[in-house]
Amino acid sequence: MSLVKSTLTIGSFTFISRITGFVRDVIMANMIGASWLSDAFFVAFKLPNFFRRLFAEGAFNAAFIPSFSAILTEQGREAAIKFAGEVLSVLLLVLLILNAIFIIFMPWITPFFAPGFTDTPEKFDLTVALSQITFPYILFISLVSLLGGILNSMGKFAAPAASPILLNLCMIGGMLWLSGISETPAHALAYSVFIAGVVQLAWLVYICLRLDMMPAINSPRMTAQVKTMLLLMAPAALGSGVQQLNLLIDVIIASHIEGAVSYLYYADRITELPIGMIGVAVGTALLPMLSRQIKSGDIAQARTSMNRALELVLLFGLPCTAALCVIAEPIIRVLYQHGAFTAVDMLATKNALIAFTVGLPAFLAVKIFAPGFYANHDTKTPFKIAMLCVGVNLFFNLVLVFVFHMAHVGMALATSIAGWVNVGVMMVILHKRGIFAADTLLTTRLIKMLIASIVMAVALLLTEGYFTAMYDQGIAMKILALSSVIAIGMGVYGAAVLALKAYDASMITKLVRRKR
C-alpha cells in the first residue's frame, strides 16, 4: 500500500474519531465546564491517557513494529505471531502489577501529578477516586496497541485506526445515560473510560481472530527477542512522547491555578485534531515502510519517503496553524461556550489554543522524524533529545508562569517552544547520519505552501468580521458562521496551492497509485 493511501485510510478513521471526540468534549463542556469537577476528571483521565499516547503513538510503534516487521520479513508470519505472543504474555503480567500498584497507592501518587489539589480536600479526594476508576484503562489500551501494531505491520490499518472512535462513543453514552445514576457527572465519565477500554480490546481481539493474527497468551518468558524489544521500548516511550511529558509538566504546574487544567485540556483537544489526522496517520504509515527500506539498505528511497511524508503533513499542517491562530475565538465559542462553559472560560481557552498552535508544525514534523530513528532500531537518541526538551519545557514554564505571570498560556507556549527544539535537534542529527536531507522538491513546495497559508490567513482576517453577529445567535447560526469561515479558508488555500503548483491533484494521484 502506498504512503498516501495508507495515510488516507488511517486519516479517514482518525477524522471520524476526532469528530466524535469533539461531540464528546462539547457535551462535557456543557455538563461540567471548566470547574473543579472537570479539573479532577481531566487529571484522572490524564494518567491512563498519558500512557495511552506513549504506547499507542510511541513505544509500541517505535520498538514493537520494527522488531515484528524484521521477524516477519526474515522468518515468516508464524514466527512473527509467536514473537507477538511472547510480548503479549510478558506485557500482560507487567500491566497487571502496574495497575495493582497504582490503584492501591493512588492517594500517595496523585499529589505528584496534581500537587495543587492537596489544598482543596474535596477536589483531591475526588481526583483519587476517579483515578482509581480510570487507571485500568491503560491495561486494555496497551494490549490494544500491541494488537494494532500487529495489524499495522501486516498492512491492516483500518481496524486500529477505528478503535479510538469506540472510546468517544462510550464516553458520550456514559455522560448521557450514567450521569443520572452516578454520584457526579465526573464519576459517569470515569466509569465510561473503563468500559471503553474493554470494548476497544474486544474489538481488536475479534479482528485479529478473524484474520488469524491473534497471538496466544502463554507463561511469561523473557526471551532474547522480548528482552531486546523491551530495551528498545523503555527509552522510546520518552523519546517519542516528549510532547506528552511536557503536557504532564503543564498539568503539575496548572494544578496550582484554578481552572488551568481544564483550559489546557480543551485547547489541546483542538490541536490534537491535525496531529492525529495528519501527523500520527502519516507517521504510522511511514514507520513500517522505513523499516523495510532501511532493512534492505535502500537509504536513498528512505530519504525520499521522509521528504514526501514531511511534505504531506505540512501541506495540511501549515494552513491548520494559520487558521487556528486567526479564528481561535469563534472555534472555542462554537464548540464549547454552552451551559457550564462561560465567556471567561472561552477567552482563557482561546489564548491557550493560540499558544499551542505556535508549535503545531513542530508537533507534526516530529511524527515524521521520529520514525527515522526507530526504523533503524535507535531509541536512545530520541530519549536523549526528549530529556533535553523536558528541561527546555520546564525552564520556560517557570519563566513564563512565575516571572512573566502568563499563567496557563505560558505553559502552553513553553510546550510549543520545547516542540520546536525537539524537531530541530532531530532534523540535524538525521541529516548528519544521512537519513534525512531536504530535497529541492520539498524545499520548493514548502515555500509555496507557506505563501498559500499566508494568503489564506489574510482572507480569513478580511472575511471573519462579516460573521461576528452570527456568533451571538443560536447554535445553528454559530455553526453556519464557523462553517462558512472554514469553507472560505479551505477554498482560498486550495486555489492558492493549485495556482502556485505547490501540490496538485496529479501528484496526489501518482502517489496513491505508487506501490512501496
- Helix (H) or strand (E) segment spanning residue 43: helix 36-54
Residues 6 or more apart whose Cβ sits within 8 Å of residue 344:
none
Cell of 505: 491533484
Interatomic CA distance for residues 187 and 173, integer angstroms = 13
Closest to 470 in 3D by CA, of 479, 461, 462: 479
Interatomic CA distance for residues 496 and 454, integer angstroms = 10
CA distances from 238 to 58, 90, 383, 386, 403 (A): 8, 20, 6, 6, 28
Q: In this predicted structure, what is the pLDDT of residue 202?
A: 97
Q: In this predicted structure, what is the pLDDT of residue 510?
A: 47
Q: Are the CB atoms for 335 and 26 separated by under 8 Å? A: yes
Q: In this predicted structure, what is the pLDDT of residue 7?
A: 64
The DSSP annotation for 5-24 comes to HHHHHHHHHHHHHHHHHHHH
Residues 6 or more apart whose Cβ sits within 8 Å of residue 358:
321, 325, 413, 416
> What is the CA 23 to chain-centroid distance, rounded?
17
Q: In this predicted structure, what is the pLDDT of residue 290?
A: 83
Q: Are the CB atoms for 24 and 176 separated by under 8 Å? A: no
* 276-328 pLDDT, tens digit each: 778 777 877 787 788 788 878 888 988 998 998 999 899 999 999 999 999 99
* 396-441 pLDDT, tens digit each: 999 999 999 999 999 999 999 999 999 999 999 999 999 999 999 9
Q: What is the sign, positive or negative, of the torsion defined by CA atoms of 510, 512, 514, 516? A: positive
Closest to 284 in 3D by CA, of 471, 484, 60, 492: 60
Cell of 188: 459517569
Read off the pTM.
Answer: 0.83
Please give the average pLDDT of every successive group of 10 residues along the chain, which has 516 residues. 65 82 90 91 88 63 80 89 93 91 95 91 96 95 89 86 92 91 93 96 96 92 86 66 67 89 93 82 77 82 90 94 96 91 95 97 92 84 86 94 94 93 96 93 96 97 91 89 95 95 63 44
The DSSP annotation for 132-180 comes to HHHTTHHHHHHHHHHHHHHHHHTT--HHHHHHHHHHHHHHHHIIIIITT
> What is the CA 381 to chain-centroid distance, rounded?
21
Interatomic CA distance for residues 266 and 29, integer angstroms = 9
